[in-house]
Amino acid sequence: MPEYTFENTLTKDIITLDMSMKEREEYLANNPTHQQILIKAPALLDPMMMGKLSPSGKLFQSTVLDRMKKSIPGNNIAAQQKRFGAGNVSEI
């Protein structure tokens, strides 16, 4: 369940609660002196951390590098792959 942080606009007290989005809307409607604030950025999905892309793997080379080669005019990706070796693309 998402975690929401609220500030009481009168007392400046800060509280953090776990609730659904519907519960958050109800909470704000029932507590007009409370305002939602952002303390930290929401978590974003990182394909590297999820194991979907691997900088040194074939998947990375066949997806990211190939798209870069096609879409960036004048790139030197192929030369860098020759210099460092195709299997060692994390050092490029």
Confidence of residue 6 (pLDDT cuts 50, 70, 90): very high
Does 44 reside within a domain?
Answer: no
- Cα distance between residue 1 and residue 81, in whole Å: 44
**Contact yes or no for 59/90 (Cβ under 8 A):** no
**Contact yes or no for 61/89 (Cβ under 8 A):** yes
Does 20 reside within a domain?
Answer: yes
Report the share of the chain in percent with pLDDT over 70.
63
Which one has a higher pLDDT value, 27 or 83?
Answer: 27
Does 21 reside within a domain?
Answer: yes
Does 66 reside within a domain?
Answer: yes
Backbone angles phi, psi at 56, to 5 degrees: -105, 5
- Cα distance between residue 68 and residue 86, in whole Å: 15
Does 50 reside within a domain?
Answer: no
Residue 75: which domain range?
58-91
- CA neighbor of 17 nearest in space, from 9, 7, 45: 7
Number of domains comprising the chain: 2
pLDDT digits (tens, 9 = 90+) for 60-88: 666 777 777 778 877 777 777 677 665 54
Does 16 reside within a domain?
Answer: yes
Confidence of residue 89 (pLDDT cuts 50, 70, 90): very low
Does 42 reside within a domain?
Answer: no
